[in-house]
Amino acid sequence: MAQGATIANEQASSPLSSANSITLRIARYNPEQDSASRFVEFAVPYEKWTTVLDAILAVKKHLDHSIAVRYSCRQATCGSCGMIINGKPRLACFTKIIELNSNVVTVEPMNNFPIIRDLAVKFERLFDTHRRVKPYLVRDDTEIESDEKEFSQSPEELEQYIQFANCIKCGLCNSACPTMATDSSFVGPQALAQAYRYVADSRDKGKDSRLKIIDDSHGIWRCHFAGSCSQVCPKGVDPAMGIQLLRGYMLGFKS
């Protein structure tokens, strides 16, 4: 383990010199071996474009390849690289070192998810709750009966749900949610936001069955409106508002 090690700046010709470096603190924990997590520290040079994921991968490449981290797209699309960065749930590939305004960057696994190892967490609960709310259009018909080639929507109908369709299933909202921490059966803001996304879609016919699924003490009524889910979403989804709007359907204010 190269604890306290330093990475040479590979961009020596850059306007930023190796004097620009951070202390990267990475939480290490292997549930099969360790009784508690610990932090290891690395000095990592950065440029103005360096992301937290870049810094972690530089450590993996040069100093300690055993650090576990999940990522794929590196462009805030796949939802794989969520973690706690300086105390807040963020995407590591979408967070530049420079915007953190700190010489110390601490990375930890997301809260409310079981840890596989180090920064990688299990997504089973999120995928299960997401699947439960039927995240697809429910229709009785098997084919379009009119002359039209598709189920058309007006811009106004699209506007009802489009921000919720931007969800990348990163789990940051579930990580930030205090109710997720105290109720292991809570369906969570991600799944509730997706329930709203399909309930509000004019092409969908599954509203009643979907509302029935979330009408539960561990469903929509469990949310206490802390609002932290909406504050951390990297895609501009507002799960707290979606939950409010869903309650409008359930209480008969919307149809």
Which residues make up the interface to ligand SF4 (CB under 6 A)?
167-173, 190, 193, 233, 235, 237, 239
Number of residues that bind ligand FES (CB under 6 A): 12
The answer to the question of residue 76 lying near ligand FES (CB under 6 A) is yes
199 binding partner (options ligand SF4, ligand FES, none; Cβ < 5 to 8 Å by kind):
none
Q: 37 or 86: whose CB is closer to ligand SF4?
A: 86
CA–CA distances in Å: residue 70 to residues 73, 124, 170:
10, 15, 11
Binding mask 21-60 for ligand FES (x = CB under 6 A): ----------------------------------------
45 binding partner (options ligand SF4, ligand FES, none; Cβ < 5 to 8 Å by kind):
none
Stretch touching ligand FES by CB under 6 A, among 10-18, 54-62, 65-73, 111-119: 65-73
Q: What are 230's two structure tokens?
A: 């909406």
Stretch touching ligand FES by CB under 6 A, among 16-24, 25-33, 74-82, 102-110: 74-82
Q: Give me the phi and psi of 143, to 5 degrees please.
A: -150, 160
Q: 206 or 234: whose CB is closer to ligand FES?
A: 234
Cβ-based neighbour number of residue 5 at 10 Å? 15
24 binding partner (options ligand FES, ligand SF4, none; Cβ < 5 to 8 Å by kind):
none
Q: Is 241 exposed, middle or buried (0-12, 13-18, 19+ CB in 10 A)?
A: middle
The closest alpha carbon to 89, from 185, 181, 15, belongs to 181
The closest alpha carbon to 86, from 25, 169, 174, belongs to 25
In contact, 42 and 59? CB cutoff 8 Å: yes
Which residue in the set 2, 73, 144, 158 belongs to the binding site for ligand FES (CB under 6 A)?
73
Q: Determine the residue type at 235.
A: K
Separation CA 185–CA 179 (nearest Å):
10
- Find all residues with CB under 8 Å of 139, minimum gap 6, and list them: 203, 204, 205
Closest distance between ligand SF4 and the C-beta of residue 255, in Å?
Answer: 25
Helix (H, G, I), strand (E, B) or coil at 4: coil
Q: 31 or 236: whose CB is closer to ligand SF4?
A: 236
The answer to the question of residue 71 lying near ligand FES (CB under 6 A) is yes
Separation CA 8–CA 14 (nearest Å):
13
In contact, 29 and 37? CB cutoff 8 Å: yes
The answer to the question of residue 81 lying near ligand FES (CB under 6 A) is yes
Closest distance between ligand FES and the C-beta of residue 80, in Å?
Answer: 5
Please report, as ranges, the residues that interact with ligand FES according to CB under 6 A: 71-74, 76-81, 91, 93
